[in-house]
Structure 1
Amino acid sequence: MSPADPRKLRVPGGVDVMFAASVLGSTDVGAESPQETLLRLAVNDLAPGMRSQIPVFKEDGKLLTVSDLGWGERGLHLMYDGVHHRQREQRDHDSEVLAALQHGGGRVIRVTAGNLASMAKIEKLRERVVGALE
């Protein structure tokens, strides 16, 4: 059996190969947290071209940050704000990121745990994203 053999995914009484392949097909190695993964799965069917970890540069060409998700060619960025975004230094950085993206004509939707807390809230978030994509 080779290291890439999908039969290695079988466990006694566990997952079958076809199910494992479908799950693996929905993964994204760029996701940096379970919340980013949930966000991606909540919106990835809304428009083609969504990617994760989109670099955002300062006017001088230096990397400012990396957008969690978005449609770079459409200028729409989704940023998941975890608890550390409450800290003053991070909020200041977030403001700089927002200004840089807006200066270039981009739009940002900031997402928190509350936006992903229920199906009703996820649907509202999806509506916001669809509106921004139009």
Structure 2
Amino acid sequence: MIAHQDCDAIEPAHEALSDQIERDLAREGIDAVAATPAWETEAWLFLWPAAAPEVVRSWTAPSQHGRWVGRIENAKEAYRKALRPSTSRVYTESDAPRIVAKACELGLIDAPDARSDSFERFRRALLSMTL
């Protein structure tokens, strides 16, 4: 099981929250991986800038090349602003799954353009799970 909760705080806040979620679920007999993006899910979307314009052609790739995106406060607003010129369609949370799917399709998931310790923790936990 994957249990998602935004941290609403910058990294390393995800560590304590992830540990708490996984511990609480383990007490209930549930083997889970916590998906706890620093601040909001949109911080992770900055990892794959090439995916967004493939989903909505008028969006600009929101590059944070080499930056530590887990330290961006109000990540959703920052991502929305980075994506669009004033004449483009506005990003909404419902766009996130399509952007991640496109990042997977383009082979970008394992080659992030920026740094996010919360994503790396989630990725490592997923890879270590036995199915």
Structure richer in strand, relative to its length: 1
- Give the TM-score normalised by structure 1: 0.26
Larger Rg: 1
- Give the TM-score normalised by structure 2: 0.26
* Higher RCO structure (Cα 8 Å, ≥6 apart): 2
